[in-house]
């Protein structure tokens, strides 16, 4: 059964949602029958990366919030992450355009390592305070996954996968995605946002049960007549 997940690397709730979803997978008996695909989404496609500007400063300016309120929001999200077992260091986060990160994700998908790449990109952004728009950082991630860094350099230079990224974003608009993360189960059920693991588990069980009914081999009802057997006997 296929599960598609739209998310952006700079979205804190996407990281929290990923961890809560994985906690649900840990309680699900048929994970080997699941196909999980991460779909690209950009919250701020026009963002110009500026490593000198803090996350709180950028958020305050872009949303018209006070720095005090922005810091309170950051602390709240950091606690949410901690409750899900993730260490956020938002004071160190670098506001960065994520298009190159999404290119890396599509590249990793071609080699069956998309989920690992997604985790490392989230960790780089939210925990390690790394600039995920910096090619050298992305090369480090690719190298740790044993992906070809020379090929990745060419991908960035040639704009490879940019059409795939746009296609993912277009698909999101077609199915009514208004925010991320957005999880779609078997193209029939959806979860929006970083919901609790129990919500993911319930949707997993429901969607998988219905998927099994649809894809199980049914016993044919045969009306017998004159025929030749497979051994040639007629």
Is 143 a member of any domain?
yes
For residues 43 and 221, the model is more confident at: 43
Question: Can you say whether the dihedral through the CA atoms of 9, 15, 19, 20 is positive or negative?
Answer: negative
In which domain, by residue range, is 127 found?
2-215
Residue 30 is assigned to a structural domain of this protein: yes
Q: Which band of pLDDT confidence, cut at 50, 70 and 90, is reported for residue 28?
A: very high
Mean pLDDT within 44-69: 92
Residue at token pair 């901690």? 82
- What is the pairing mode between strands 189-192 and 35-40? unpaired
pLDDT tens-digit series, residues 221-233? 455 555 555 655 5
- The answer as to whether 84 is a domain residue is yes
Q: Is residue 220 part of a domain?
A: no
Neighbours of 213 (CB within 10 A): 9
Residue given tokens 């599960």 in the structure block = 3
Query: Is 226 part of any domain?
Result: no
Query: 30 pLDDT exceeds 60?
Result: yes
Q: Among 52-61, 94-103, 209-218, where is mean pLDDT lowest?
A: 209-218
Give the residue-averaged pLDDT of 213-224.
60
C-alpha–C-alpha distance, residues 82 and 7, integer Å: 20
What is the distance between the alpha carbons of residues 234 and 226, in angstroms, rounded to a whole number? 8
User: Is there a domain that residue 211 lies in?
Assistant: yes
Closest Cα to residue 115, out of 23, 22, 230, 201? 22
Check pLDDT > 90 for residue 99.
yes
CATH code of the domain in which 103 resides: 3.40.30.10
Total domains in the fold of the chain: 1
Which pLDDT tens digit goes with each residue over 149-171?
999 999 999 999 999 999 999 99
Q: 227 burial class (0-12, 13-18, 19+ CB within 10 angstroms)?
A: exposed
Question: Does residue 232 fall inside a structural domain?
Answer: no
- Taking the C-alpha atoms of residue 4 and residue 15, their distance in angstroms, rounded to an integer, is 15
Mean pLDDT of the 187-215 span: 95
What is the mean pLDDT of the segment spanning 105-120?
Answer: 98
Asked if residue 50 is part of any domain, the answer here is yes
d(CA 215, CA 213): 6
């Amino acid at each position: 059964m296929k599960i598609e997940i739209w998310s952006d690397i700079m979205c804190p709730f996407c990281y929290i949602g990923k961890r809560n979803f994985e906690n649900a997978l840990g309680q699900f008996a048929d994970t080997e029958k699941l196909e999980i695909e991460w779909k690209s989404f950009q919250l701020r496609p026009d963002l110009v990366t500026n490593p000198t500007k803090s996350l709180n400063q950028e958020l305050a300016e872009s949303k018209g919030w006070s720095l005090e309120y922005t810091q309170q929001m950051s602390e709240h999200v950091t606690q949410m992450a901690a409750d899900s077992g993730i260490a956020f260091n938002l004071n160190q986060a670098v506001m960065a355009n994520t298009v190159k990160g999404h290119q890396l994700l599509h590249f990793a998908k071609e080699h069956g390592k998309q989920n690992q790449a997604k985790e490392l990109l989230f960790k780089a952004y939210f925990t390690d305070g790394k600039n995920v728009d910096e090619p050298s950082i992305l090369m480090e991630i690719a190298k740790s996954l044993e992906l070809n860094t020379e090929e990745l350099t060419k991908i960035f230079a040639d704009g490879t996968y940019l059409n795939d990224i746009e296609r993912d974003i277009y698909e999101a608009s077609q199915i009514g995605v208004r925010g991320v993360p957005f999880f779609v189960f078997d193209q029939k059920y959806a979860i929006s946002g970083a919901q609790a693991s129990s919500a993911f588990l319930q949707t997993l069980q429901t969607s998988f049960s219905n998927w099994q009914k649809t894809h199980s081999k049914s016993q044919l009802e045969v009306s017998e007549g004159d025929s030749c057997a497979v051994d040639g006997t007629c």
